[in-house]
Structure 1
């Protein structure tokens, strides 16, 4: 029953595919495209989760010392 309320996480394949599509739609700038699309007024929760996963994958990892 918990699964009815918990949002599904996008698969790695879905994230890779969306990053490619974002790059195509936003002139080779998938990170900026994902951030811009997250600002859209009408966005589903599933689409938002996918775009957030893309942002997480595209942002450089912080260097640990």
Structure 2
């Protein structure tokens, strides 16, 4: 079975959760950041960043 492509921010967040659970926090953070970047709603994107990346994360403008 081939891996399925990531089509939505939720796919990236699911993968981030899996990486966090398996002890790969750096990959989890990268996936969460990509989820936030792909989220159309700026409020939701900020929530994802706050939850996964912390208050010191620099968001691209």
Name the TM-score class by shorter chain.
0.3 to 0.5
Higher Cα Rg, which structure: 1
TM-score where L is the length of structure 2: 0.45
| Structure with greater contact order relative to length (CA < 8 Å, sep ≥ 6) | 1
